[in-house]
Structures are given as C-alpha cells and as structure tokens.
Amino acid sequence: MPEALSIYETLPQAAKQEVNDFIFFVAARINYAKASKKDSSQGLTALNNLKKFRGRIPADFDMKAELAAARDEKYGL
C-alpha cells in the first residue's frame, strides 16, 4: 500500500482530482440508488471495492486510452 500511495502522490494535481471526482461520482450514484429504494447492497460493495484502488493508479495511466480500449472490446467499434 505505501507504494500505491507514493505513486498517487506523484500524480499531477489534476489527475488526483479526476480520481477523487470519479469516486465521489460513484458515491453519488449509490446514494441516488438508495433514495430510489433500489437494492444498494451491490452499490455499496462496488463503492467499497473502488475505494480499495484509491491511490493505486500508476503515473502513466491514460484514462482515455483505457476507456477507448474497453469500448472497442465490448462493442467492437
């Protein structure tokens, strides 16, 4: 875990903010699901799993490239 935190600390402030914004976005979606009386146990589990990765993204992580690759894999675009 200390290695992950040191990598996180080397990220530019904008990248750190993107990670934090994404985590808060997921938390907001979970809160919305709770308010809608949907089953939020899966959402809470997903959020807790996501929080485990906080600070573990490598410095050379390219979110746009990863997203494009995932879209290509799923939809074959």
pTM for the predicted model, two decimal places: 0.39
Alpha helices for 2-77 (secondary structure H): 2-10, 13-35, 41-52, 63-75
Whether 64 has a pLDDT exceeding 80, the answer reads yes
pLDDT of residue 39: 59
39: three-class secondary structure by DSSP: coil
Judge contact between 30 and 47, C-beta under 8 A: yes
Amino acid at site 45: T
pLDDT tens for each residue of 16-34:
888 778 878 888 887 777 7
pLDDT of residue 4: 67
pLDDT of residue 57: 73
pLDDT tens for each residue of 28-60:
887 777 766 555 577 778 778 877 877 777 778
